[in-house]
């Protein structure tokens, strides 16, 4: 009995300590895992988040790129990390919602193994082809792709990445199955496209924007209902009669399940304050992000978004993969 009481007392003391430590959070450098290669949409977004946390929470938040497995290697690392707020995941629609469609033995459950912190941004995807690709319009692309599916090399950031998912939707809609080449992120895909080794990719706007503007690659269509103000001449998939190619993946912040509520609250509050800054909103708009209303940003809204995007897209992806 005495032994039990002592054990209970130890548990209480430990719980108290954890609570007190959580109140002080953060007291040292924290790591933000970006599960893709440096220089691409995930990395740019993760660094923006790191900057916000560093400024609002008074400690260094350092990005670590843990690429591989379409983002699932880094997400798994984050899921298994100590739930103390010092390992954070800047994930996205693929890693934190749709990965189970592609990996039967994923090693983590996007909805059970993470606590949502908040939505950072949503960016529509572009279909971008190499400069000398024999199509200058989306209609020409579809005609060429349908008659030459065996000649096409498509770059993507790994099975289950959003660049993979975007092109999967495109291919299913036009009825082709070209060769899909995995990279560790879409920044290396872009390099391969500039070098002529890859014909095209489907990537969130920010990934290729500067090379599109410089005329080094060609953006043929945006997978959205509305044109981007950054690329007003690029038609939408809806205008082009291909509404199935419509994707604006979310990029968002998560921590391992079991993270103390006080830590979650501090992170969510910092993220929300950072995203409210005019300069941050301007930067996101310059990157091609769709505006996100404040009420869609917090942990609860992100949990709902993960659920609704999973329910909406899983059947579409499974059908597309079977085509």
Q: Which stretch binds ligand MLT (CB under 6 A): 35-43, 102-110, 255-263, 284-292?
A: 35-43
State the number of binding residues for ligand MLT (CB under 6 A): 16
Rounded to a whole number of angstroms, the minimum distance from the CB of residue 290 to ligand MLT is 15
Between helices 162-174 and 299-322, what is the axis angle to 10°?
A: 40
User: CB burial class (10 A; 0-12, 13-18, 19+) of residue 269?
Assistant: middle
197-216 positions binding ligand MLT, by CB under 6 A: 204
Nearer to ligand MLT, 84 or 246 (CB): 246
74 near ligand MLT, judged by CB under 6 A: no
Compute CA distances 195 → 67, 154, 170, 217, whole Å: 22, 14, 23, 11
- Binder among 26, 40, 69, 124 for ligand MLT (CB under 6 A): 40
Rounded to a whole number of angstroms, the minimum distance from the CB of residue 171 to ligand MLT is 15
Nearer to ligand MLT, 185 or 299 (CB): 185
Rounded to a whole number of angstroms, the minimum distance from the CB of residue 239 to ligand MLT is 24
Compute CA distances 264 → 23, 63, 95, 313, whole Å: 11, 19, 20, 28
54 near ligand MLT, judged by CB under 6 A: no
Who's near 228: CB < 8 A, 6+ residues apart? 124, 205, 222, 234, 288
Compute CA distances 304 → 72, 119, 267, whole Å: 21, 11, 18
End-to-end alpha carbon distance in the chain: 64
43 near ligand MLT, judged by CB under 6 A: yes
Binding site for ligand MLT (CB under 6 A): 36-37, 40-43, 71, 94, 157, 161-163, 185-187, 204
């Amino acid at each position: 009995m005495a032994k039990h009481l002592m054990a209970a007392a130890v548990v209480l003391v430990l719980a108290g300590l954890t609570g007190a430590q959580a109140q002080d959070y953060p007291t040292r450098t924290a790591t933000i895992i970006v599960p893709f290669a440096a220089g691409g949409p995930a990395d740019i977004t993760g660094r923006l988040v790191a900057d916000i946390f560093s400024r609002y929470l008074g400690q260094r938040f350092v990005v670590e790129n843990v690429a591989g497995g379409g983002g699932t290697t880094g997400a798994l690392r984050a899921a298994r990390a100590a739930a103390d707020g010092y390992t954070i995941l800047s994930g996205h629609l693929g890693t934190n919602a749709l990965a189970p469609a592609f990996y039967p033995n994923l090693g983590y459950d996007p909805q059970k193994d993470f606590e949502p912190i908040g939505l950072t941004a949503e960016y529509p995807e572009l279909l971008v082809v190499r400069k000398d690709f024999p199509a200058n319009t989306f209609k020409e692309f579809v005609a060429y792709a349908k008659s030459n599916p065996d000649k096409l090399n498509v770059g993507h950031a790994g099975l289950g990445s959003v660049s993979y998912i975007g092109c999967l939707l495109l291919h299913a809609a036009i009825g082709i199955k070209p060769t899909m080449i995995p990279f560790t992120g879409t920044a290396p895909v872009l390099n391969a496209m500039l070098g002529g080794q890859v014909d095209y990719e489907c990537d969130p706007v920010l990934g290729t924007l500067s090379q599109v503007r410089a005329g080094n690659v060609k953006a043929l269509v945006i997978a959205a209902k509305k044109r981007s103000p950054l690329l007003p001449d690029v038609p939408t998939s809806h205008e082009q009669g291909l509404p199935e190619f419509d994707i604006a993946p979310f990029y968002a912040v998560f921590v391992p399940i079991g993270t103390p509520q006080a830590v979650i609250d501090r992170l969510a509050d910092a993220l929300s304050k950072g995203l409210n800054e005019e300069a941050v909103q301007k930067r996101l708009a310059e990157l091609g992000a769709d505006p996100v209303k404040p009420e869609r940003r917090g942990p609860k809204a992100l949990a709902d978004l993960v659920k609704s995007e999973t329910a909406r897209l899983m059947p579409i992806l499974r059908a597309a993969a079977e085509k």
